[in-house]
Amino acid sequence: MSSETQNKAPEIKMSPEMAAAHKKMIAAADEVEKVVVGKRTEVLLILTAMLAGAHVLIEDVPGTGKTTLASTLARVTGLDFKRAQFTPDVMASDITGFHIYNRQKENFEFREGLVMCNLLLADEINRASPKTQSALLEAMEEGKVTVDGNTMNIPDPFMVIATQNPAGYVGTYPLPEAQLDRFALKLSMGYPSPSEELNIIKARKGENPIKNVKPVLTRDELREIREMVTTVHIDDELYQYIVTLITATRKHPALALGASPRASVALVHLAQAYAFLRGRDYVLPDDIAGLFRAAIAHRLMLRQEAKLAHQTTQDVLTEILRTTEVPYKGKRA
């Protein structure tokens, strides 16, 4: 292939329908940002996961706006929202549902679990027991739950935004690598800047600003937009770029565990959604590079020598991005 062809991105004009859908999603991000101040990047990444039909893990200290973000997002997108506050005594049946005997009707009735919603905030997931964590992650993977031999579909769309405390907090059960792999993105909200925090406390002196948030989308519209996102063009060379990046994680000397094929598939879907939110119906290398660390870092395991050298998975991925040839012109992240 000539260098001229390599350096040329596919030119595909966005249809009026897709342009209107893009406008709605940006309006949704704007509405969320009225409440979640100064977190535009995080809001767009979570919307990216939502459009890709994926789940997000947020690791941060308490009080940084994780719950507010999830509930605001549900209100803006018209989704049924539930919050699960995980503790060691939360049982797997609380997540999936259970049957209870009704004495008056003399039969067993099914009580829905917390996953029977569109958007579930799994708060402090690493405080739940491994069995309860596993029940939730299986529901995320399968999109359905089985209780006493009966299988029930979880409502569509379904998204989990899970939060966890940083490693080392008392009373936590770290998620195993195989379970972390089911989250498409891992983010950190971080503390607001002093000016942003000033705006937050001024906005909260009266009525909670979330009460003034207006729905921008309906569930049906969101499903339609998700279908549109699957048509976003991705060039064959970009598929190869993704495979090259993922393969590099399996060969890097600092890593004991590289990214799985599930990570490759997730990165494709995320890149399509990210390109769409950036106003294009085709993917560029910059979209892939911009998502690479948030989509891959949590799936990796460092070797002991790398840990002793204070190397991080983020460092490794930055190095892989820097040393991997880009298929055609596109700014590296």
Instruction: Evaluate if residue 54 carries a pLDDT over 90.
Output: yes
Tens-digit pLDDT profile for residues 41-50:
999 999 999 9
- Within this chain, do residues 50 and 145 fall inside the same structural domain, yes or no? yes
Model confidence band, residue 170 (pLDDT cutoffs 50, 70, 90): low
- Within this chain, do residues 132 and 161 fall inside the same structural domain, yes or no? yes
Residue 7 resides in a domain: no
Q: What is the value of pTM for the model shown? A: 0.88
Query: In whole angstroms, what is the distance from residue 33 CA to residue 200 CA?
Result: 11
Structural domain boundaries, residue 33: 15-228
Model confidence band, residue 167 (pLDDT cutoffs 50, 70, 90): low
Residue 10 resides in a domain: no
- Within this chain, do residues 224 and 246 fall inside the same structural domain, yes or no? no
Whichever domain contains 330, its CATH number is: 1.10.8.80
- Within this chain, do residues 218 and 245 fall inside the same structural domain, yes or no? no
- Within this chain, do residues 85 and 223 fall inside the same structural domain, yes or no? yes
Q: How many domains are contained in the chain? A: 2
- Within this chain, do residues 191 and 224 fall inside the same structural domain, yes or no? yes
Q: Which of 2-6, 135-139, 201-205 is predicted with the least confidence, judged by mean pLDDT?
A: 2-6
Give the per-residue pLDDT at 63: 72
| Closest listed residue to residue 122, CA positions, set 145, 106, 140 | 140
Last residue of a domain, one of 198, 213, 228: 228
Phi (first) and psi of residue 161, to 5 degrees:
-110, 105
Q: In the chain, what percentage of residues exceed pLDDT 70?
A: 92
- Within this chain, do residues 267 and 216 fall inside the same structural domain, yes or no? no
- Within this chain, do residues 196 and 260 fall inside the same structural domain, yes or no? no
Instruction: Evaluate if residue 145 carries a pLDDT over 90.
Output: no
